[in-house]
């Protein structure tokens, strides 16, 4: 059958239109797939479908200060989102995500005006990715300062990392005349930016109480080799090897392990470090150092943002002198939402009940006990359940009792009794000395940030050429 040229051209136009429609549908599906990959994996490789944990996002994004969101750029991005070409639409969506929180006002305004369902979908996806990275992704830092004081530097860092970085001691900046520094940091993840800042100022983050504070120090580089994975800093700090003999039966036992220090950005609230495991460990002679069977690992939290982890290994009969390659992952539970419980005048509070997230919390009384105090609390909840598990993990780290001056008390211990309907707890408190040496006075108020939503996060790590003992 023969067709006229007009008929052929009409068919081509219809075919092109159908292809563009299919590309746009495919583009949105692919965009959703990329969003899920970035949110769950943050890497080019796709995680196995059976793997439940979420990896921190490590997508490279342009910091708002590096790309000015001018009206012309806004118009171009929105025009490109409506393009018939999938690659153009996808590039525009990625550019919006890369702008970070600076793009949120533009997205919100566009959503109130835009009628195209696919453009609205792309804008919504970009907004959700930005908001998720704000919580679980790395904070990107840009600082350009010349002849500035360390205080000015950390004030800029403070504004960009979504956290309040406190100093220790509280008069740190007044203790001396600090030398001026010049810094040019462009779009670096928080931990890499902090490394440069610490090298220039002699001030770094370190453990203090239940968190991290800025204080004098050489920085984390002195602790051992490190990698930055999203909002986490992973350091290989120590390799241990010891042998013992049981004299009763001459059985030989060898203990061989690697110790890691893992720091979460101050903006993150880590409720639990659940597991650390190795997937690959070989020495320079090709020996596998992986344990023959799963062994108990050690996890110790230092506040909500610092964790020491020990991963067991197997010492070979004919060892090399270096661990050539070591690879593994650590798993954490991160709080993504919370609700504040605040009870003032707690010394006069009796059987005061509040309901949060479907759980009923009752402060029965707080009474003097020796040099400290005892707090009696009950929580009504069904047996088990994620909400109760998250709340349990937050008791020591996020339930705080303060005196009238805002000085916290220190937890000394807790006893509890659990039934099918709830848990009764008795917490023991002791005065805590402030940095200036003053101790807590009489308890005044209770503040508890109770988790209402959490997410698992997997932090991969990889090291090479580590010395073997």
pLDDT by residue for the chain (469 residues), tens only, comes to 444 444 444 444 434 344 344 344 433 333 323 232 333 333 333 333 333 344 444 333 333 344 568 889 989 999 999 999 999 999 999 889 888 888 999 999 999 998 889 999 999 999 988 888 888 889 989 999 999 999 999 999 999 998 999 998 889 999 999 999 999 998 899 999 999 999 999 999 988 766 789 999 877 877 899 999 999 999 999 999 998 999 998 888 889 999 999 999 999 988 888 889 999 999 999 999 998 876 656 666 656 788 999 999 999 999 999 999 999 999 998 988 888 888 899 888 899 998 887 778 899 999 998 888 999 999 887 655 556 666 666 776 678 888 888 888 888 888 888 887 788 989 898 887 665 566 678 888 988 888 888 899 999 999 999 999 9
* Strands ordered across the beta sheet of 372-380: 352-356, 359-369, 372-380, 422-431, 409-418
Q: Are residues 451 and 342 in the same domain?
A: yes
Burial of 119 (0-12, 13-18, 19+ CB in 10 A): buried
Give me the number of domains the chain comprises.
Answer: 4
Q: Are residues 357 and 418 in the same domain?
A: yes
C-alpha atoms less than 13 angstroms from C-alpha of 433 in its C-beta half-sphere? 4
pTM, rounded to two decimals: 0.72
CB 331 within 8 A of CB 274: yes
Q: Are residues 297 and 349 in the same domain?
A: no
CATH assignment at residue 170: 3.55.50
* Cα(360)–Cα(77) distance, integer angstroms: 48
Q: Are residues 342 and 325 in the same domain?
A: no
Burial of 48 (0-12, 13-18, 19+ CB in 10 A): exposed
Q: Are residues 432 and 327 in the same domain?
A: no
Q: Are residues 132 and 148 in the same domain?
A: no
Tokens of 218: 């050489």
The alpha carbon of 442 is separated from its chain's Cα centroid by a whole number of angstroms, namely 35
| Assigned domain for 1 exists | no
**Radius of gyration of the chain, Cα coordinates, nearest whole angstrom:** 27
> In degrees rounded to 5, what are phi and psi of residue 365?
-170, 160
Last residue of a domain, one of 331, 348, 363: 331
Predicted local confidence at residue 387, as pLDDT: 60
Q: Are residues 407 and 361 in the same domain?
A: yes
Last residue of a domain, one of 288, 315, 331: 331
* Cα(383)–Cα(381) distance, integer angstroms: 6
Q: Are residues 280 and 352 in the same domain?
A: no
| Assigned domain for 294 exists | yes
Tell the residue number behind the tokens 């392990």, with chain if given.
257
| Assigned domain for 147 exists | yes
* Cα(374)–Cα(428) distance, integer angstroms: 5
C-alpha atoms less than 13 angstroms from C-alpha of 265 in its C-beta half-sphere? 31
Q: Are residues 178 and 116 in the same domain?
A: no
Closest CA to 457 of 311, 307, 357: 307
* Cα(276)–Cα(278) distance, integer angstroms: 7
Q: Are residues 359 and 431 in the same domain?
A: yes
* Cα(214)–Cα(203) distance, integer angstroms: 6
Predicted local confidence at residue 460, as pLDDT: 96
Q: Are residues 371 and 446 in the same domain?
A: yes
Last residue of a domain, one of 285, 302, 331: 331
Residue ranges making up the domain that contains 268: 229-331
Q: Are residues 295 and 361 in the same domain?
A: no
| Assigned domain for 28 exists | yes
* Cα(265)–Cα(369) distance, integer angstroms: 37
| Assigned domain for 462 exists | no
Closest CA to 338 of 455, 190, 459: 455
| Assigned domain for 12 exists | no
Q: How far is CA 404 from CA 152, 440, 446, in A?
A: 31, 9, 11
């Amino acid at each position: 059958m023969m067709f006229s040229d007009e008929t052929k051209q009409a068919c081509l136009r219809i075919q092109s239109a159908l292809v563009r429609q299919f590309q746009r549908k495919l583009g949105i599906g692919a965009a959703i797939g990329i969003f899920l990959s970035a949110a769950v994996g943050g890497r080019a490789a796709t995680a196995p479908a059976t793997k439940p944990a979420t990896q921190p996002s490590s997508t490279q994004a342009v910091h708002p200060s590096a790309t000015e969101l001018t009206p012309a750029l806004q118009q171009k991005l929105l025009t490109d989102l409506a393009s018939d070409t999938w690659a153009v639409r996808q590039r525009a969506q990625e550019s919006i995500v890369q702008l970070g929180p600076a793009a949120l006002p533009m997205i919100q305004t566009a959503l109130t005006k835009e009628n195209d369902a696919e453009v609205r979908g792309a804008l919504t996806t970009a907004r959700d990715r930005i908001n998720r990275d704000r919580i679980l992704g790395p904070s990107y830092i840009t600082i350009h300062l010349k002849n500035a004081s360390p205080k000015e530097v950390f004030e800029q860092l403070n504004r960009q990392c979504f956290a309040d970085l406190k100093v220790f001691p509280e008069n740190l900046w007044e203790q001396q005349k600090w030398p001026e520094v010049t810094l040019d940091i462009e779009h670096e993840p928080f931990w890499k930016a902090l490394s440069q800042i610490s090298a220039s100022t002699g001030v770094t983050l370190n453990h203090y109480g239940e968190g991290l504070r800025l204080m004098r120090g050489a920085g984390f580089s002195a602790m051992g080799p490190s990698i930055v994975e999203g909002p986490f800093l992973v350091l290989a700090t120590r390799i241990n090897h010891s042998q013992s003999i049981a004299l009763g039966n001459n059985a030989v036992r060898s203990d061989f392990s690697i110790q890691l220090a893992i720091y979460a950005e101050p903006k993150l609230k880590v409720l639990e470090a659940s597991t650390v495991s190795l997937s690959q460990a070989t020495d320079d002679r090709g020996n596998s150092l992986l344990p023959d069977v799963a062994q108990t690992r050690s996890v110790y939290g230092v506040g909500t943002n610092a964790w020491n982890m020990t991963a067991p290994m197997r010492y070979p009969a004919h060892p090399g002198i270096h661990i050539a390659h070591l690879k593994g992952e650590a798993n954490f539970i991160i709080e993504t939402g919370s609700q504040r419980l605040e009870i003032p005048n707690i010394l006069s509070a009796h059987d005061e009940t509040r309901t949060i997230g479907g759980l009923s919390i009752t402060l029965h009384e707080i009474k003097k006990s020796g040099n400290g105090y005892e707090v009696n609390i009950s929580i009504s909840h069904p047996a088990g359940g994620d909400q109760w598990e998250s709340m349990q993990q937050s008791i020591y780290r996020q339930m705080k009792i303060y005196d009238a001056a805002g000085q916290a008390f220190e937890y000394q211990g807790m006893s509890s009794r659990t039934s099918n309907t709830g848990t009764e707890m008795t917490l023991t408190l002791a005065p805590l000395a402030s940095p200036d040496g003053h101790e807590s006075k009489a308890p005044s108020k209770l503040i508890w940030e109770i988790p209402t939503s959490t997410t698992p996060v997997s932090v991969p790590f990889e090291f090479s050429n580590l010395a073997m003992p």
